[in-house]
Amino acid sequence: MPKSRTALIFSPLFNSYSYGDDHPFKLQRYHVARDLMEAYGLLKLPGMEIRDCRPVDDDLVLTFHDPDYIARLKEFSAASEPRADFRFGLGDADCPVFQGLYDCAALGAGATFEAARLVEEEGFAIAFNMAGGWHHAHRAKASGFSYLNDAVLAINWLVARGRRVLYLDIDAHHGDGVQEGFYDSDQVLTISLHESGIYFFPGTGFEDETGEGSGKGYSVNIPLLAHTDDALYMKAFDEVAYPLIAAYDPDVIVTQIGADTFRTDPLTRLEITTHSYGYIMRKLKALKIPWVALGGGGYDLLNTSRAWTIAWAEMNGVKLAPALPETFVKTIRALGYPHRSLLDAMHWSEEHERNLALDAVEKSIARIRDTVFPGILDRYGAITGE
């Protein structure tokens, strides 16, 4: 049996832009992750290809985004002086304006479209765009480091071709922009596991946000308290996300696989490690459903590089040595990083905090089973994998 084909979407231009030296979002991470993949020999595997991309077309951008917002985004992108328009979320600390901004956003969205196209038109089993996953971009507003919502654009293209799509978001932040894009649609089931919006950006993503109109029951949110650890994260995935994916049985899965859930991420308070992250990648691969994977968040450079290397290895069925390759260790040591290990041991949070997180996740699971599961069951049949 021939090996399933996989594609890594990568443009040398990914590192051509910068949000600013003091901004937490560092585009350098794409190149560091690629360097680690190369050190492990993951860029010359049988059945895999590296594909370049081009900026997304305006016609596809306007399937979601407001024309006035896009016009202002392009105007600011071409300006040499600092600009701001807070009506559109442009120019604040999270979403700075810099020359070439639109080109940067359009290239990332174009890479996601290329990943979707390869899965849809060329028969690739999996396509991975590290420079995707801008899930906070809204129809007419930049938010959370995101300007164009690449996932919504690519999913719109897939839906227009008659595909039923499942969007899974495991970033630490709620995928609010993607939820907005499909809140009234029954052609896309969105599932987001994230740190609770009670105290955390973007302040949304609660269990009662289940969709409206024909989309009622097609939006699923699993808010997690701070200090949710590996075991609790896998519990939420296994008891909600995985059985819903199996029941919905989509034509294509689009995932945002941000690594800011890791316990040493500087911006978040979840406590997962490579243990549960790799577990979820293996479970998704085992579904054998065409898969478009997008990078997303991650504000510790080495966590992000390790996570996406693990993801790419799992996508290709490769088992990696737990110690980082010596060539890569030498490179990162010069940058001030002491890391020597790819894999983390399974982590448990402190007992009191863990008990609070466990109680919260059990209540969320019970609520989702009462509200969302029956509708999916009625339409798509029995849920398996429980």
DSSP secondary structure string, 39-74?
HTTTTS-TTEEEE---PPPHHHHTTTS-HHHHHHHH
Mind listing the pLDDT tens digit for each residue in 170-225? 999 999 999 999 999 999 999 999 999 999 999 999 999 999 999 999 999 999 99
Measured CA to CA, the distance from residue 381 to residue 90 in angstroms comes to 45
Q: Quick one: what percent of the chain has pLDDT higher than 70?
A: 98
Active site residues: 136
pLDDT above 90: percentage of residues in the chain: 93
- Check: CB of residue 126 under 8 Å from CB of residue 4: yes
Average pLDDT over residues 348-369: 97
- To the nearest whole number, what is the mean pLDDT of the chain? 96
Could you read off the pLDDT of 316-354 as tens digits, one per residue?
Answer: 999 999 999 999 999 999 989 999 999 999 999 999 999
User: Above 60 in pLDDT, residue 59?
Assistant: yes
Round to whole Å and give the CA distance between 104 and 302.
Answer: 23
pTM over 0.75: yes
* Span 78-134, pLDDT tens digits: 999 889 999 999 999 999 999 999 999 999 999 999 999 999 999 999 999 999 999
Report the run of H or E that residue 254 belongs to, with start and end.
Answer: strand 252-256
Domain spanning 6-57+102-380, CATH class: alpha beta
How far are the Cα atoms of 130, 257, 260, 315 from residue 308, in angstroms, in the given order?
8, 8, 12, 10
Q: Which of 378, 381, 375, 361 is nearest to 238 (CA)?
A: 361
Residue 139 has pLDDT above 80, yes or no: yes
DSSP per-residue codes, 4-37: PPEEEE--GGGGS--S-TT-S--TTHHHHHHHHH
Q: Are strands 252-256 and 219-224 parallel, antiparallel or unpaired?
A: unpaired
- pLDDT band, very low/low/confident/very high, at 383 (cuts 50, 70, 90): low
Mean pLDDT, rounded, for 373-377: 90
Mean predicted confidence (pLDDT) in 369-381: 89
Asked whether the predicted pLDDT for residue 36 surpasses 80, the reply is: yes
